[in-house]
Structure 1
Amino acid sequence: MKNFSTVVTRAAAAVLVACVVAGPVQAAECAFKPNAPDQHRVVKGDTLWDISGTFLEHPWCWPQVWGMNRDEIRNPHWIYPGQIVYFDRKTGRLSLNKPGTGDGRGEPPLLRLSPQVRSAGLENDAIESIPAGVIEPYLTQPLIIEKNQLASAPRIAASEENRVYLGAGDRLYVRGELNGATSFQVFRPGVALRDPQTRAVLAHEATYVGTVSLVKAAVPGVDVHTFTVSSSVSEMGVGDRLVPAPPPAVRNYVPHAPQRPVDARVMSIYSGVTHAGQSQVVTVNRGSIDGLDVGAVLQLYHFGKTVPDPEGRKGFLGIGRSTIKLPDEQYGSLFIFRVFGRVSYGLIMQVTAPVEVGDVAKSPE
């Protein structure tokens, strides 16, 4: 897999074109690399993060560089293999226009961004923000269950012929309000997610076991709805809970700093390992109520330790030594791609050291 430091968002494709009107880069954190190339030809497998990272010191900050507002970020545009992204060193801009082909004053022609009619085929050929396959399972299957969320969810109350475990094609009976939905995912309450700072349980991560479809809703005199198992990834049984299947995942990810300062901690590493590396998924102990949203980027730090001062003065009555607090060491970045109230999923990007539970994840400085 490619290094994420050279990967971008569909929502940004013509974002590269937006650079034409954005003006030279002002912010130091969005500076161009000293060795930035004059151009980059887009190839299949590139992502918008890759392309931006080819030119910029910090690829996540391209909306700031291109002066995008929230409406422009939400409005998808596309970029395709074969196109060339140019770096105009004279104006300090990126463009899909070759430098010198503008209006005679060294300015590239103005290309206005506007909604476009797109065919599904062309859209599917457009490059992605980040590799979709890496995070796809986390968009539709793992589920953060916050306080008592599953308590009122429909539940499997019985099975045909009293089977203990159910598989594809089996019939089952569900009790609870469906609220008009006919297709559901099935979950089993799982591991508690504890805040590394307070040790409080913020949520539970439910285990995805499969999908079910409504055959017949309950009628007067009958307490349950009839379903069949559409698919299963593990054994499904009585007591498991139903959650309406989500709409197709939106992948218009444009990286940006959080709307307000965020100081989070890595809470868990998905799949239960103790250390994680690039392209793996972790949870952090902050969510939408803390100012995180999809596309927010956090910097990862190893928490600075407190160590004895080898030449420090001894304490009271000569007991002990003074200590030194070491700084937090920044070693990578985290791309937030799914957000709940108090917890979020993040994709680890371009790290130089393993990620551990308890590591600091905070707003870019």
Structure 2
Amino acid sequence: MLVSVLLAAPANAWERLRNDAPERYTVQAGDTLWDIAARFLHAPWQWPEVWRENPQIENPHLIYPGDVLTLRDCQGMPCIQLERSKQVVKLSPEVRTLPHREAIEPLPREAVEAFLRKHRIVDSTEVLNELAYVVAGDDTRLISGAGDVIYVRLTDQARNKSAMVRGEPMGIYRQGEPYVGGDGDVLGLELISVGEAVLLRRDDDIARLEVRRAEQEVRNDDIVLPLESFLLDDPFTPRAPRNDVSGVILAVPGGVRFIGRLQVVAIDLGTQDGLQPGHVLRVDQQGERVNDPRTQEVLQLPAEEAGALMVFKPYDHVSYALVMEASRVLAVGDRVRTSR
């Protein structure tokens, strides 16, 4: 029956599907939304075009292990629908606790969680100068570590009491390399995590903090900021941006030049360019330069698609993205653009 439906449907609509796409798939623990989309589609970022929400299910964007996805025909177009799994509980006089079900992640949690602890971006030097900073260690030490007390000065812009709450961890950061665009303009400044501290006391513009964790020594002039949330509050799905964008891979945080799957990269596009978490961009590599065998002139071969990346943390002019596919070794300077 499914074969007859496929033959009757418009060819271009069904060409999105893989030849080996399953008619039914049961979601497994450890799956990501990208993994599931790739089981059905040649281009996983086209998932929203074939996903059909079920109005009877609360928040259908959340998919859980045990849920069943079925491939169907919806008025001549391919669609994937969700059959929510139901936990059957045998009633008995004793109280039973059901295990908490975690919705699957859009992309591998472990690939971004550790990264987001260690890296973040501020837009400019002006913004950097408005942030709280370390002025001294206890007993006027120049270098501090875990268990030590440090003193932090709050600038006029940072003196919002809600930004520093007693007992809540604060991030300690040191300025890394600036991200510079092709025109030489600074797009953002990378901050690298040094450790974490908690507020003990605050007197006007001076705060006393205890260092709870330190990957490096804490120095004077290090930046102190509230920690960023590691995961997005709202679920997002892999999808192409609505507008055409084009940019480059600026850097691989950590100094690596050559890039493979599940590595984080920084690109020179951000929210000002319309990027949002979940947006997928195609990676193109410049073609080789060859000599024409007849004229001996140097020819530039066309660019070739080499991979795909998903944005997970966009800032104004720079975004962090995770490489989801790489048919070749990617490199700093490779072009990124809207996937179609």
Q: Is the 8 A contact 1:142 1:206 kept in 2?
A: yes
Are 1:134 and 2:111 an aligned pair? yes
Over the residues paired in the alignment, what is the CA RMSD in angstroms? 2.6
Cα displacement string for residues 50-101 of structure 1 (whole angstroms, at most 9, x for unaligned residues): 1221111111111122367xxxxxx674322223222236863322359xxx
Q: Is the 8 A contact 2:248 2:334 kept in 1?
A: yes
2:215 to 212, 215, 233: 233
Distance 2:280 2:230 in 1: 23
For structure 1, the 5+ residue unaligned runs are 1-23, 69-74, 99-118, 313-320
Q: How does 1:67-216 map to 2 (within 5 A)?
A: 77-88=61-72, 92-96=78-82, 122-124=100-102, 126-148=103-125, 149-176=127-154, 177-180=158-161, 181-182=163-164, 183-195=169-181, 197-216=182-201
Distance 1:243 1:97, change over 3 A: closer
Distance 1:55 1:290 in 2: 30
Question: Equivalent residue for 1:288?
Answer: 271
Distance 1:184 1:348, change over 3 A: same
1:263 to 235, 240, 246: 246
Cα displacement string for residues 239-274 of structure 1 (whole angstroms, at most 9, x for unaligned residues): 111112224521623111113111010110122112
Distance 1:30 1:270, change over 3 A: farther
Q: Is the 8 A contact 1:30 1:58 kept in 2?
A: no
Question: Equivalent residue for 1:347?
Answer: 322
Q: Is the 8 A contact 1:284 1:346 kept in 2?
A: yes
For structure 2, the 5+ residue unaligned runs are 1-8, 54-58, 85-96
Distance 1:120 1:59, change over 3 A: farther
Distance 1:25 1:216 in 2: 67
Q: Is the 8 A contact 2:67 2:83 kept in 1?
A: no
Distance 1:241 1:86 in 2: 50
Per-residue deviation at 1:291?
A: 1.4
Q: Which amino acid aligns with 1:297?
A: V
Q: Which amino acid aligns with 1:56?
A: L
Give the secondary-structure state (helix, strand or coil) at the position aligned to 2:144: coil
Distance 1:205 1:30, change over 3 A: farther
Give the secondary-structure state (helix, strand or coil) at the position aligned to 1:44: coil
Q: Which amino acid aligns with 2:131?
A: A
Cα displacement string for residues 118-166 of structure 1 (whole angstroms, at most 9, x for unaligned residues): x996342x22221101111233430112212211111111111122221
Report the number of matched residues.
Answer: 303
199-208 vs 349-358, which deviates more?
Answer: 199-208
- What percentage of residue pairs aligned between the two structures are identical? 31
Per-residue deviation at 1:358?
A: 0.5
Q: Which amino acid aligns with 1:128?
A: E
Give the TM-score normalised by the residue count of structure 2: 0.81
Q: Is the 8 A contact 1:39 1:87 kept in 2?
A: yes
Give the secondary-structure state (helix, strand or coil) at the position aligned to 1:138: helix
Question: Equivalent residue for 2:3?
Answer: none
Are 1:34 and 2:43 an aligned pair? no
Question: Equivalent residue for 1:272?
Answer: 255
The 4+ residue runs of structure 1 with deviation greater than 4 A are: 24-30
Give the secondary-structure state (helix, strand or coil) at the position aligned to 1:40: strand
Distance 1:88 1:139, change over 3 A: same
Q: Is the 8 A contact 2:113 2:230 kept in 1?
A: no
Distance 1:37 1:67, change over 3 A: closer
Distance 1:135 1:236 in 2: 24
Distance 1:89 1:258 in 2: 26
